[in-house]
Structure 1
C-alpha cells in the first residue's frame, strides 16, 4: 500500500475532530474523502500528509512511519494542494512552480538541469507550459489551480493530497482538474464536496461523519440512497450514468 493510516485521532482543546480513523490507499489509486461540512476531511488530509501530528495512531507512506521521517524527506515524497492560495507578489507561473523544487535543493545549491526538467514536465502535465512567463495575477481560477498542481508535481512526489481542489471553480474546470488528477501516475487522496464528481473520478470513496469513517469502498457500493439520507440528510435517487457508467445522484427537490 502507498498509504496506511491506523486509528488516527486528533482534536483541538476538548473537541475531537478526527476520531479513530483507519484507511489505506493503493499505488496509483485515487481515493476520495466525502462528508458533510465539519466532518473532518481537511483535518484528516493534514494528518495523512504529516502537516499535523495525531494524538493517537500512525501513518505509513510506502512502509515508513512518517513520524520518523524528516520534514524535508517527507516533502520529497508527499505534495499537498490546498483549496486556494493568493499572493500580492508580482510573480510568474514559472516562479510559482519553481517553489516545488525546494525540498530537493540545499540552501547553497544552484538551479540544476534536473530542477528545470521537473518544472517543465510539471507545467506540461497541467497544460500550462505556454503560460510560463505569464503573471500570476492575470490567471483565471482554473489556471491558478492547475499551477498549484504543477507546483506539487514539481516536487516529484509519489503521493498527492488535495483539499477540495475544485472549490469555487465552474463545472468545466472542475471536471478538467479532476480528470487530470485521476490520470496522473500517482496515489492521490482528494477531499471533495461534490458527490457526483467523487463518483465520477474516484476509484474508492471514504465517507466521514463527525470525524469517524462511516463507510468505504467503490462508488457503486458507497453512494446509496440510504447512506445519502443518513449522512447527508437528503432524499436522492442513485442511477448509473450513461456517460461514464458510474453512479449518478439525482437530488429530490423539496
Structure 2
C-alpha cells in the first residue's frame, strides 16, 4: 500500500477529534475524505501526511513508519496542498513553484538542472508554463490553486494530500482542479465538501463522522440515501451518473 493507517487517535485536551481510524490506500488511487464540518477530515489528513503526531496508532507511507522517517526525507515523498494559498510578497509563478524543491536541496547547494527540470515539468502538468513569469498576485483563484499544486509536484512526491483544494472556486475550476489531480500519476488523498465531486473523481470514499470512519468503499457503495440521511442529515435521491460507478446525488428541498 502507498498509505496505511492503524488505529489513529488524536485530540485536543479532552476532545477526541480523530477516533481509532484505520485505512489503506493503494498505489495510484484517489481516495476521498468526506464528512460534515467538524468530522475530523483536515485533522486526519494532517496525521496521514505527518504534519501532526497521533496520540496513538501509526501511519506508514510506502512501507515506512513515518514517525521514524526524517522530516526532509518524508517531504521528498509526500506533498501537502492546503485549502488556499496566499502571499503578500510580489513573486512570480516560477518562484512559487521553485519552493517545492526545498526538500531536495541543502543550504549550500546551488540550483541544478534537475531542479529546473522538476519545476518546468510541474508547470507543464498544471498547464501554467506560459504564466511562469507572471506575478502571483495577478492570478485568479483557480490559477493560484494550480500553481500551488505545481509547487507540490515540484517536490517529486509519490503521495499527495489535498485539503479541500476546490474551496472558494467556481464550478469550472473545481472540476478542472479535481480532474487534474485524478489524472496525475500519484496516490492522492483529498478532503472534499462536495459529494457529487467526490463521486465523480474519487476511486473510493471514506466517510467520517465525529472523527470515526462510518463507511469506506466505492462512491456507488457508500453514497446511499440512508448514509446521507444518517451522517449529513439531508434527504436525497441517488441515481446512476453518466459514467458507471459515479452516482449522482439530488438533494430534496
Query: TM class, shorter-chain normalised?
Result: over 0.9
For residue 68 of structure 1, report the CA deviation from its aligned partner. 0.1
Equivalent residue, structure 1, for 2:46: 46
Which ranges of structure 1 fall in alignment gaps of 5 or more residues? none
Cα deviation digits, residues 179-211 of structure 1 (max 9, x gap) = 000000000000000000000000000000000
Equivalent residue, structure 1, for 2:180: 180
Provide the rounded CA distance (Å) in 2 between the counterparts of 1:172 and 1:86: 21
Moved over 2 A (4+): 242-245
* TM-score where L is the length of structure 2: 0.99
SS of alignment partner, residue 23 of structure 2: strand
Equivalent residue, structure 2, for 1:153: 153
CA contact (8 A) 2:78 2:157 kept: yes
Equivalent residue, structure 2, for 1:9: 9
CA contact (8 A) 2:220 2:245 kept: no
1:108 matches 2:108? yes
1:214 matches 2:220? no
1:252 matches 2:252? yes
Equivalent residue, structure 2, for 1:228: 228
How do 1:1-254 and structure 2 match up within 5 A?
1-242=1-242, 246-253=246-253
Provide the rounded CA distance (Å) in 2 between the counterparts of 1:85 and 1:93: 12
Aligned length: 253
Question: Which shifted more, 48-57 or 81-90?
Answer: 81-90
SS of alignment partner, residue 106 of structure 2: coil
SS of alignment partner, residue 179 of structure 1: helix
For residue 48 of structure 1, report the CA deviation from its aligned partner. 0.2
For residue 86 of structure 1, report the CA deviation from its aligned partner. 1.1
